[in-house]
Chains A and B, each alone.
With several copies, the nearest count.
Chain A
Amino acid sequence: MSPAPEDASVHRALGLSDDEYQRIYELLERHPNHLELAMYSVMWSEHCSYKSSKIHLKRLPTQAPWVLVGPGENAGVIDVGDDIAVAIRIESHNHPSAIEPYQGAATGVGGILRDIFTMGARPIAVMDPLRFGPIDDPRSRWIAEGVISGVSGYGNSVGVPTVGGEIVFDETYKGNPLVNVLAMGVLPTERLVLGQASGVGNLAVLLGASTGRDGIGGVSVLASAGFDESSEDIDKRPSVQVGDPFEEKRLLEACLELLDQGLVSGIQDLGGAGITCATSETASRGGAGMDVDVTAIHARENNMEPFELMTSESQERMLAIIKPEDLAHVEEISARWEIQASVIGRVTGTGQLRILDGFDGDVLASLPASTLHDDAPEYKRPIAPPADLGERRAQDASQGPVDCINNLLSLLRDPAWVYSQYDHQLFLNTVVGPGNDGTLLRLRNPRNGQETGRGIALSTDGNHRWCHVDPRQGTAMVVAEAVMNIACVGAQPLAVVNCLNFGNPEHPEVMWQLAEAVDGMAEACVAFNAPVIGGNVSLYNETNAVDIAPTPVVGVIGMHPSLTTPPPSIGFPPNASLLLLGQVPDTDVSLAGSQWAWEIGGCKDGTLPTFDLQQAVRTSQFVAESVQKQQLLAIHDIAEGGLAVAAAEMAIDSGFGAQIVDHCDHVSMFNESGGRFLAVVGDELLDDFLKDAKRHDVPAIQIGRTGGTSLNFGTEIIIPVSELETAYRTELPEALGLGTVNT
């Protein structure tokens, strides 16, 4: 047992537990000073250290022959052939977006892009899975509107297209929106660089924006003399970061040019924990140490304290490790792109991260670089399923005010109001953009722009309702949905990234949800042969001690092997056969976890319909191949809102209706059994197609014909397509189109 610190209030105010303090004492074999404490506190925060989730994340499959870089680096990287690699990552910016929606979302986009070009890749796509409180809640509308403007404002200006995403409104996110952002980039495989510092004597150059007092957050307690007196200054400290897409754009171009010219041996973006994180991670990944001169950091404000400089989360900065002889060249490129470049560090062979007041000045902090992350605590937090799980699962989710026509109309929502604010076409790759199932991009060679004749498909998906009812199966269904979305554009999955948005990890039920979700994700990823190559965990998503519904969000990336013609649209053509593919709902079909049950029936529990993962694998593979062979006139997967919503979206897309036999009760119309698609096949191909399906062991039943001006379920439910379209198009513009109020 080590001696107690002089003043235990210091580390506690910084968010470090007494045990964590002990650990630091043991690692340093002395008491840490305030600067060192500040550095440990940011690096050992949940956000940076994954201390609650690490033990579970180990159960995810991460390997495949095409995986070049798995979890742990800034982004996952896969080899997609032709000497091209693809980098992909997803991250959350939930809490910042709740306070300042525009900047929260904007800096979220900026941050994830840096993760991509850190790997040497040019970012070519962003996706934004978004979740907000109810659309009739004014504050949720204000947050939604600000977030969407922020993604638009930053993404468009920085010059990376936003090619898809999600928008979900639910009570569970009231007060705690989820703003996740995914980015994907391409690079010549040989340019892949990792965030590591090596070569004693090499220089660490800080590139980009000046360092201000942004996002100093918890550490700012160090600014006030005594920790018990509340200091006005602290409140004034701007913990809100403002994004500058123009700075990011110049930084991106400059970094890619530095990489192209081979001037960089390691590079790391500055995100959470700022310079502390970037210097310690690069040093310890490279098995080296680093001397950092705080006075060399270009600062936005005067009189910044060393702990402020070391922990600031100012945006649009990167740390590059270069050889001393290349400095002039690096400075020349930086100047051309009008970005600042300051030599703030030197690589040493000691393994120590030393913070100095001038390279020859006083030592302000000295700690083994690797202890900041490798020795971060790892918690095995208590896990317990909810005590009333049995009762919850016994509930009947099919009760409620059944009115199939109006129920269907109320479940429709067109996300076009959102994505029409995003440039989704830049780089001339977008074959299938937002508004469909998966997004499909041309894959071109990043060296010379040559087409490869292949396509990259992306989809992001989450479903808090399924995951609330059953986090394990729900998460497996979420992965399946993402795979099914890309199957609709002819692609098969290569890899998965995930963002685990959960409540307070100190609640055993939340840890149970997390553990179950990880297991469900692992099962599905194994089944689809799509390893998890990266992700992010966002915990403490709660309002007034109420946790959000578990919301694992996945991004799936897949490949279309021969992209010569666009895949079929989702729209119904006239006069063809409408088929239901996939798992045939059997007797235990249930509305549990469906949008109908939550939004209309008012029951949030029950037992999910049986989900046959292997069947979903076969079906989506079959659909992807059928799309590639151009056998389908239209295709759409069945997800939120069930068969009825899927059919309505197909009708709205083309203006043609369909006559569906049976399926005219609310359970058949709105259940969300996983692994199903609606496909439209021309009469001349029908017999062959059905035989083919049978050969692939994919259930396919003809449920109706397309055409006409209405969508019919059975003989009684008849809805003019124009009425569907009005309901679909008006909801978002009416709620958000006029502006919103901050309440």
Chain B
Amino acid sequence: MHFEVKVEVSPREGIANPEGSTIERALPALGFVTASNVRVGKVIRLRVEADSSDDAKSLVEDMCNRFLSNPVIEDSQVEVLQG
């Protein structure tokens, strides 16, 4: 069975996020509304073959821990969107 899976990789709490801070600094200067707590992460969407939604989730979680994210600086969340 095919499953569409979404992985969100986000900078860990407490770790500086240069991309977010740069956006935060730029916003008022560029005439946008001021924002705070800006954090930029990645979202990876993929389709995998698995026997069940739970299987798909654990397959991708493993991939996530070992490959898609770096636990030193990133957290990740896996969501199975549809079968």
Contact = CB atoms under 8 A, between A and B. Distances in A.
Given A238-B15, A244-B18, A739 B73 contact: no
Nearest to B65: A742
Nearest to B16: A242
Interface in B5-55: 11-18, 21-23, 25-26, 29-31
A314 B72 contact: no
A33 B65 CA distance: 41
Contacts of A237: 14
A9 B67 CA distance: 40
Given A236-B14, A244-B16, A739-B23, A100 B73 contact: yes
Nearest to A146: B70
A99 B74 CA distance: 13
Contact of A246 (B13, B18, B29, B65): B18
Q: How large is the interface on B (under 10, 10 to 19, 20 to 34, 35 or more residues)?
A: 20 to 34
Nearest to A99: B72
A103 interface: yes
A213 B14 contact: yes
Contacts of A742: 65-67, 70
A213 B14 CA distance: 7
Contact of B16 (A300, A740, A741): A300
B14 to A, nearest CB: 5
Instruction: Tell me the dominant secondary structure on chain A's binding face.
Output: loop
A182 to B, nearest CB: 24
B18 A247 contact: yes
A338 B25 contact: yes
Contacts of A301: 14
B22 to A, nearest CB: 6
Contacts, number: 63
A269 interface: no
Most buried by B among A146, A240, A241: A240
A214 interface: yes
A244 B30 CA distance: 21
A743 B16 CA distance: 25
Contacts of A738: 25-26, 29-30
A212 interface: yes
A240 B30 contact: no
A739 B12 contact: no
Q: How large is the interface on A (under 10, 10 to 19, 20 to 34, 35 or more residues)?
A: 20 to 34
Contacts of B23: 739
A209 B22 CA distance: 11
B30 A314 contact: no
Contacts of A314: 16
Interface in A284-305: 300-301
A190 to B, nearest CB: 35
A110 to B, nearest CB: 11
Interface in A205-222: 209, 212-214
Nearest to A209: B16
Contact of B73 (A213, A238, A741): A238
A315 B21 CA distance: 14
Contacts of B29: 738-739
A243 B30 CA distance: 25
B73 to A, nearest CB: 5
A209 to B, nearest CB: 8
A242 B15 contact: yes
Contact of A212 (B16, B30, B31, B73): B16
Contacts of B18: 242-244, 246-247
A743 B73 contact: no
A741 B29 CA distance: 10
A463 B17 CA distance: 38
A740 B65 contact: no
A238 B30 contact: no
A214 B26 contact: no
B30 A739 contact: yes
A242 B73 contact: yes
A293 B73 CA distance: 31
B73 A740 contact: no
Contacts of A213: 14
Nearest to A239: B72
Contacts of B65: 742
B18 to A, nearest CB: 4
Interface in A238-265: 238, 240-244, 246-247
A106 to B, nearest CB: 10
B21 to A, nearest CB: 8
B12 A238 contact: yes
B66 A246 contact: no
Given A738-B25, A738-B29, A242 B70 contact: no
Nearest to B17: A242
Given A99-B72, A240-B72, A246-B22, A740 B30 contact: yes
Contacts of B73: 100, 103, 238, 240, 242
Most buried by A among B16, B25, B70: B16
A741 B14 contact: no
Contacts of B17: 242
B32 to A, nearest CB: 8
A213 B15 CA distance: 8
Given A237-B14, A244-B16, A743 B66 contact: yes
Nearest to B15: A238
A743 to B, nearest CB: 7
Interface string A133-151: 0000000000000100000
Contacts of B16: 209, 212, 214, 238, 241-242, 244, 300, 314-315
Contacts of B15: 238, 240, 242
11 contacts: A212-B14, A237-B14, A238-B14, A241-B16, A242-B73, A244-B16, A338-B25, A739-B22, A739-B26, A740-B67, A741-B66
Given A212-B14, A739-B22, 17 more contacts: A99-B72, A103-B73, A238-B12, A238-B14, A238-B16, A241-B16, A242-B15, A244-B18, A244-B21, A247-B18, A314-B16, A338-B25, A738-B30, A740-B67, A741-B31, A742-B65, A742-B67
